[in-house]
Amino acid sequence: MIEELTFRFERDVTEFPNRLAITAVDDTGERQLDEWYETGVSVAMVEQPLFSAGSVLEGEQTNLLKCGLSGRWIVAIPAENETVELDVRDVADDDSSYLDEPLPIDKDTLVEALIEFAESYRKKRAESDPDPCALTRLDVGIADARRRLEYYRDNRSQDGYQPTINREHLETFLLECRSRDRLREFVAETGEIGPFVRQLLENDDGEYVETMYRQLFNREYDAIAREGLEVLREHPDERASVYIVGVALESNPTFAVPALEILSQVDHEILIDIVRERVRADDPVIARAAIDALASLDPESLDPNERDRVVSHFQYGREATEDEALESRIDEALSQLE
């Protein structure tokens, strides 16, 4: 059984190529593994095992560290009881091992070693290149792996574990790391975007709020944006209107429909400007949502020019559809404008 395990980069973290050194010592004090593998160095490489800590603790086979230049994966393999087996495998062949036998190790010993490796890399990275996105990715991964490990030690399982992210890291994610896939997946798992948007509703700092709405909706249409839209659907905020125009024009109804609903409540001028082609959308769900959004407008709030444009949009949509239900909805809406 491996009692001590260390991972380290043998060269400065800015150097390429580098070497990942691994030392594994068993319970008799004998070194069972003392090797290095040529590799590049990146945040993605180091964060991989951090965000995979839950899989390790659940005893699942998990790819941990990829040493691409030498074609090696450091892998955790399921084993009995509270252990896994550490193996070194070929990147191109999942079944081929470079060890005589995989090394048995307690799950928490392995995860602790991976956390310490990441903490060491984070410290060196901060000294050489303190990029806020890179450091946030590492900080969030380290914190989550540490919480998962503590949860496992208390419960011997990951059942019921809820990931979380603090406000500072969430803001940095939105401002600096919005397109980073693994961190984006993690933030979506936390469910923290909804509470964050509800806090924005109460925030009087208009510049800050608009910046956050822009970051939420102006770059990616994903689970992060969807969670924000669902909050605004129930509690519209006109400060978000200009940033969800692109979402309203999206071809996916999951995003377009709530965006159209929000615009109908907070900024009918923008809605009227952008909705014409939506009433003829290929997706009938989006077309119906566009018609409903226009129909929800209070005729008394529209000036004569706006009324004429709304009528024109309805007529444009009616000419294009063969859906009887949609035709009936348009006719009903037109009658309200007479």
Nearest CA among 284, 327, 285, 335 for reference residue 310: 335
- Which among 99-108, 219-228, 313-322 has the top mean pLDDT? 99-108
Q: Is the pLDDT of residue 219 over 80?
A: no
> What's the average model confidence in pLDDT over 186-200?
98
Confidence band (pLDDT; 50, 70, 90) for 220?
confident
> What's the average model confidence in pLDDT over 312-323?
92
pLDDT at 94: 80
Residue pLDDT, tens place only, 5-18: 999 999 999 999 99
pTM confidence score: 0.91
Q: Is the pLDDT of residue 157 over 90?
A: yes
Residue pLDDT, tens place only, 229-268: 999 999 999 999 999 999 999 999 999 999 999 999 999 9
What is the distance between the alpha carbons of residues 18 and 15, in angstroms, rounded to a whole number?
Answer: 6
Residue pLDDT, tens place only, 261-315: 999 999 999 999 999 999 999 999 999 999 999 999 999 999 999 999 999 999 9
Confidence band (pLDDT; 50, 70, 90) for 149?
very high
Strands 93-97 and 2-9 come out as unpaired
pLDDT at 8: 98
pLDDT at 204: 98
| 95 or 103, greater pLDDT | 103
Confidence band (pLDDT; 50, 70, 90) for 322?
confident
Q: Is the pLDDT of residue 103 over 80?
A: yes
Residue-range domains of the chain with CATH: 2-125 (3.30.2450), 192-337 (1.25.10)
Q: Is the pLDDT of residue 135 over 80?
A: yes
Confidence band (pLDDT; 50, 70, 90) for 180?
confident
Q: Which stretch of 67-76, 81-90, 176-185, 304-313 has the lowest confidence by average pLDDT?
A: 176-185
* Cβ(290)–Cβ(321) below 8 Å: no
pLDDT at 11: 96
> What's the average model confidence in pLDDT over 40-64?
97
pLDDT at 218: 81
Confidence band (pLDDT; 50, 70, 90) for 150?
very high
Confidence band (pLDDT; 50, 70, 90) for 338?
confident
The chain-wide mean pLDDT, for the chain, equals 95
What is the distance between the alpha carbons of residues 263 and 294, in angstroms, rounded to a whole number?
Answer: 10
Q: How far is CA 270 from the centre of its chain?
A: 29
